[in-house]
Amino acid sequence: MWLITFSIDRHYNRNQDLVWIPFVIIQVVISTICGILIKKLHQQVYTDVLTGLRNRRYFCAKLPELTSKAPVSLILMDIDNFKSINDTYGHIAGDQVLQQFAGILQSNTRKTDIIARIGGEEFAIILPQTDVKKAFKIANRIRTAVENHLFSYENITCKITVSVGIASIKKGTSVDQFLKITDEALYKAKEKKNFIVMVAEG
C-alpha cells in the first residue's frame, strides 16, 4: 500500500498531503481492527467458554510467574458430589450450577486474584501477595456463600457444597511442589466435604 500510494503521488505529482492523509486513515482503521481481533483471539484462547473464567492454559502459564513473587497462596476447590447433580437434573442444569458458582467466586475475590476453571468441577484461585491466613478468610467466605446459595435453573433448585485446599509459600518453592501440596490439602478436605484444609510452607 505504501508503494502504491508513493507511485500515485509521483505519477500525478499531486499535493503530498492530499495523497497521504487517506492512506494514514486507512492504516489506522486496519491497525485498530487487527488489534481488536488479536485481543478477542487472546481472550478465546485463555477463557473458559462455559463460565467466562480463565482456563487451565492461562492458569498454568500464570502460576510460575506469580510463584516467583512470593508470598503467594493457591486455592484449589472441588464441588462436592457434582456428578449426582448431572445424573439427577441433567447436564444443562449442571452447567447452570457451574456458571452460578463462577459468579460466587468472582463476587468473593479481589481484582488481583486469578480465578480459573481447571477441570470439570474443579477450580483454582491464585492469590498474589497473600499469606495463608488471608487466603483462608477468602476461601471460607466462598465456602459459606456456596453453602447458603440456592442454585436454580428453570423449575429446578438445588444446594451444593465445596471442598477447599489451600497452600501458601514465602520462598522459592517449585510450581510442581506448590501444586502437589495444595492438591493434597484438597484431597484431605474432600474426605470430609464442605471443609477447608490449609498448608503454609516456609
Q: Where along the chain do its domains lie?
A: 2-46, 54-200
Tell me which residue has cell 501477595: 129
CB 185 within 8 A of CB 152: no
- pLDDT score for 171: 72
Tell me which residue has cell 467466586: 105
Give CATH superfamily name and number for 54-200.
Answer: Reverse transcriptase/Diguanylate cyclase domain (3.30.70.270)
- pLDDT score for 35: 53
Q: What is the pTM of this model?
A: 0.79
- pLDDT score for 200: 78
Q: What is the pLDDT along the chain (202 residues), one digit of tens a residue?
A: 555 555 655 555 555 555 555 655 666 666 666 555 555 554 556 899 999 999 999 999 999 988 878 789 999 999 999 999 999 999 999 999 999 999 999 999 999 999 999 999 999 999 999 999 999 999 999 999 999 999 999 999 999 999 999 999 877 678 999 999 999 999 999 999 999 999 976 5
Report the catalytic residues.
121
C-alpha cell at 200: 503454609
d(CA 91, CA 99): 12
> 122 to each of 19, 105, 186, how far by Cα in Å?
58, 12, 10
> First CA to last CA across the chain, in angstroms?
59
- pLDDT score for 163: 98
- The total number of residues shown for the chain amounts to 202
